Amino acid sequence: MKPLRRARIVATLGPASSSPESIRALIEAGVDVFRLNFSHGTHEDHAQRLNTIREAEREAGRPIGVLMDLQGPKLRVGRFTGGRAVLAAGQPFRLDLDPAEGNASRANLPHPEIFAALEKGADLLLDDGKLRLRIDDCGPDFAHSTVVVGGPLSDHKGVNVPGVVLPISPLTAKDLTDLDFGLSLGVDWVALSFVQRPEDIAQARAIIGKRAWIMAKLEKPAAIEHLEAIIDQVDGVMVARGDLGVEMPPQQVPVLQQRIVRAARAAGRPVVVATQMLESMINSPVPTRAEASDVATAIYSGADAVMLSAESASGQYPVQAVAIMRSIIGEVENDPAWRTGLEASHGPARANTPDAICSALRSVAELIAPAATVAYTATGFSALRASRERPTTPILALTPDLATARRLTLAWGIHPFPFDTQLDNVSDMIAHATLIAVQKKMAGEQDKIVVIAGLPFGRSGSTNLLHIATINTAQ
């Protein structure tokens, strides 16, 4: 049997990659999930892209996931006379709510919530951290600061407040409109930006319900302080290294990446490593060796997925970027040290029946080397618990729900397959599992497969069956 890739690939769609031909080529190259970035593009753009994805999905004959990424709050300075000003290190600089155009000594900051959270001695970062201000005095509508790191500052550049929890909901009015639209389209995942606390998930959960799975983008230092609690409230997480790297020293980002991946794996939540993975491929047909190593590091750590942003959305070589990412994953997953690392970083199972079954699955796979694991799952729970164990066999997730199949495309080692066959008992399930495993070329004559399921079928969290079957096509 041909080896099956475990780690998944997420690609952002944009002007360079949204044609039907491009989307089909990206799927052929290895994309499992497409990201629709709602920071850019119109609703009409995203609707057309999703319709094209669904058409290409039918042609490909396998589920393809769609992740909508909400913009979240964007904190920015106002406008400047002439469009820009140059801030000199050591000079005073004032920020206030006055909408008048700024200059080298003051600027409009139209965010009273920032002033409410500022304290003397705090730092403000401007333009992705290129400029740094130290707060000397502040009030509800102003802040006096000293320029620590100066430089040019132009209209509407971003503002970051490291080390401060801002009293801001991660869902803006724009996000709420976008979310309603995205859910009406039938997206599979919703990525929330600017998550700081577990409480930030509640509003989104109330709106989304069971219509999509929720992913928290971890891009604020405050989120790291509540890491396990946030992971417990969501269905997946993203290591958003761009914004995280602005507010934290760059040498800390790799350490935090590993910590987030470990925590997500322990909880059985899919984790995506994102931002600047193959950045040079925006303009180059090949990545740097350092970028190839960066992708490999994420795969060695057991991340569920790696993501392309501008490389596939606006770059010159979107298909090549996906192909390179896929080849890097293949090289790592063929390295014996990769499996050794997964074993070493595997966390203990929890004391409940589903975890006990999936822990046993892992042991069975190591002992008898079955061709595949088949997980029957209505909600995705059984398949995700199997994925958490990082078994040596590929996981064929059989589900009666197409939406569940699409959501599972983001999870490590899972190959989802929707079905509409009526299964009345365990014998029917085993016969059906062996048939599909053979049809999907995941198992052959006399191969063994391991089947897990929850009985009664369709109830979330009820994984309680493990069965070993031998393929016998003569029966």
The residues that are catalytic are: 35, 76, 217, 275
Instruction: Compute φ and ψ for 201, nearest 5 degrees.
Output: -80, -25
How far is residue 30's CA from residue 361's CA, in Å, rounded to a whole number?
Answer: 28
Instruction: Compute φ and ψ for 441, nearest 5 degrees.
Output: 60, 35
Q: Are 410 and 306 in contact (CB under 8 A)?
A: no
The CA-atom distances, in angstroms, between 288 and each of 114, 294, 359 are: 39, 10, 39
The secondary structure of residue 376, as a DSSP letter, is E
DSSP string for residues in 395-462: EEEEES-HHHHHHGGGSTTEEEEE------SHHHHHHHHHHHHHHTTS--TT-EEEEEEESSTT-TT-
The CA-atom distances, in angstroms, between 241 and each of 12, 247, 315, 371 are: 16, 10, 19, 37
Three-state DSSP at 311 gives helix
Q: Are 188 and 407 in contact (CB under 8 A)?
A: yes
Preceding omega of 456 cis (within 30 degrees of 0): yes
Strands 131-139 and 189-192: unpaired
How far is residue 333's CA from residue 6's CA, in Å, rounded to a whole number?
Answer: 8
Residue showing tokens 């959270």 = 117
How far is residue 193's CA from residue 196's CA, in Å, rounded to a whole number?
Answer: 9
How far is residue 139's CA from residue 119's CA, in Å, rounded to a whole number?
Answer: 9
How far is residue 227's CA from residue 42's CA, in Å, rounded to a whole number?
Answer: 33
